[in-house]
Amino acid sequence: MEVDKYAKELEVAVRIVHLACALCGRVQDRLLTMSSDHVMSKDDDSPVTVADLSVQATISWLLSDNFGSQNVSIVAEEDVETISKPDSAGLLEAVVNTVNESLESASKYGLRSPETILGSSKVLEAIRHCNSAGGPTGRHWVLDPVDGTLGFLRGDQYAVALALIEDGKVVLGVLGCPNYPVKTEWLNYHHQRRQTTSQGSSTTPDAWGKGCVLYARRSSGEAWLQPLISGDKILEWPNCARLIRVSSIDDPALATRCEPVERANSDHSFTAGLAHSVGLRKQPLHVHSMAKYAAIARGDAEIFMKFAKSGYKEKIWDHAAGVVIVEEAGGVVTDAGGRPLDFSKGMYLEGLDRGIIVCSGVILHEKLIEAVYASWDSSNL
């Protein structure tokens, strides 16, 4: 890959995700101190907040502004159906206000603000523009505006994930983790800590440890981390970034695995049995969202396994950004058959062999693949 290929796309994406993280931080503070129209249910009963829709609209507008709306194809999680319902006027108003509030601060992140305030029709148009189905040809931005919405609503871990796929391959990824703490052990205890603090206390990163944005470009052999900016600071580029690398631990007894907090779409009993058979002894790190990919890329954990329950299909926006960051940081990501994940089939990871295995290195990865084959016949999946 040419040295400068995707350099502009990556820089713009990182700046956009920084802005989106700030948006989420403001909304999370408000949601944790009030009950309002800002939370609704989608058709699958999962919660959707003003943050999901505002981030999607904001990122859609900024990508179109930087690269031209005719040149931007976006695959994203949210659609306008929820916000277009008759009883969602309060949510729409909140989204419009949040989008304009965020875009007003765009210059702080080296981005351009709209010349005039965006009305509801323009905001809906920006959300609606994220209607691409992806596929094996062309360029497609892949966005999960708030990955780990339940964690977001609880004041816990969540992520803003943005990736670029070209001709079916993920070529860059940016992962914003606004609540990722300085101390790894706080990943497990932040939710409990949140429950014991006063209702109005701040959830901004500075209150308990910096949030961060991680990013990588395919075939660069480098993954980077920037702390979130706060206050009136201006985002510097790229002076505030530092290289990150996966952990060098390859002994299963010393390795830490990340485990999803939600049990709805994962078979925790199978992964627990697999962990035991491989010789993992440490307690798992319970983490909402794609922050699990951040933990492995930063060297805070060594393993993440996900085996979906029957009927569940993995979406590309839940993995694309994290996969390229972990791989460029020196890690390994495959399905449970040892094959690379295929992002060329549209919105879903079609043809996935049983599950997904993310490791800090080849030795741990090989042990897990072997254990999957040994354990699979006796599983209840």
Q: Which whole-number Å values give the CA distances from 238 to 172, 211, 223, in the listed order?
A: 16, 17, 13
H helices present in the chain, as ranges: 7-31, 50-67, 89-104, 120-128, 149-153, 186-196, 268-278, 291-298, 320-328, 362-375
Catalytic residue among 149, 204, 256, 334: 149
> In whole angstroms, what is the distance from residue 168 CA to residue 327 CA?
17
State the amino acid at position 354 in one-letter form: R
Closest by alpha carbon to 252, among 159, 366, 130, 124? 366
Burial class (CB in 10 A: 0-12, 13-18, 19+), 120: middle
Catalytic residue among 52, 144, 267, 335: 52
> In whole angstroms, what is the distance from residue 207 CA to residue 198 CA?
13
| Sign of CA pseudo-dihedral 83, 176, 173, 314 | negative
> In whole angstroms, what is the distance from residue 348 CA to residue 57 CA?
22
Q: Considering just the CA atoms, what is the radius of gyration of the chain in Å?
A: 20
> In whole angstroms, what is the distance from residue 192 CA to residue 199 CA?
13
Residue with tokens 């994290």: 322
**149 tagged catalytic:** yes
- Which residues form the catalytic set? 52, 149
